[in-house]
Amino acid sequence: MNKQRDEDSYYRRSGSQPVPGRPVPKNLGQSRGGGQRGPRDYHVDDAALEEIDDFRPPNPKNPLAGAKPAVVLGAFLTIAGILSLIIFPFLPVSFPGWTTAALIGVVFLGLLVLFLQMPSKRTGSGDGAQV
């Protein structure tokens, strides 16, 4: 059989009977000669695109601007102490023996300050699952 004739008969046959579980095309018979709509027949609704493009992301603020000074100090001590413990052994300068103990103390002091800044009571009656 001829390939063109096979395709034409397929579209005529499949376009005349809707397939169960699939929506019936609105413009039955306008595309592909016999019936079914394809991906090139899709048209974008401009009004829907304008609604989608209406979103404006919020301008992020400086995270340190509204933070408590004790929280910033505790975070700085913890991070600086850990980074110093990692970097100091690779430097070509010899440090006194108490330097490692002092840096470990600085890390623990920073963690203690952060721990003390945690709220002691919950605010609100929710279970925390909020969006």
Q: What is the full DSSP assignment across 37-83?
A: --GGG----HHHHHHHTT--PPPPPPTTTTS-HHHHHHHHHHHHHHH
Q: Is 108 part of a structural domain of the chain?
A: yes
DSSP 1: -
Residue 2 has pLDDT above 90, yes or no: no
Per-residue model confidence as pLDDT tens digits over 80-119 = 999 999 999 899 999 898 999 999 999 999 999 999 999 8
pLDDT score recorded for residue 29: 47
Per-residue model confidence as pLDDT tens digits over 9-56 = 555 555 455 556 666 556 554 544 556 777 777 777 777 766 666 667
CA–CA separation, 44 vs 50, rounded Å? 11
Task: Please give, one letter per residue, the 3-state secondary structure of 77-111.
Answer: HHHHHHHHHHHHHHCCCCCCCHHHHHHHHHHHHHH
Q: Which domain holds residue 103?
A: 69-116
Q: Is 56 part of a structural domain of the chain?
A: no
pTM, whole model, 2 decimals?
0.50
The domain total for the chain is 1
Count CB-CB contacts under 10 A for residue 81: 20
Q: Is 106 part of a structural domain of the chain?
A: yes
pLDDT score recorded for residue 12: 52
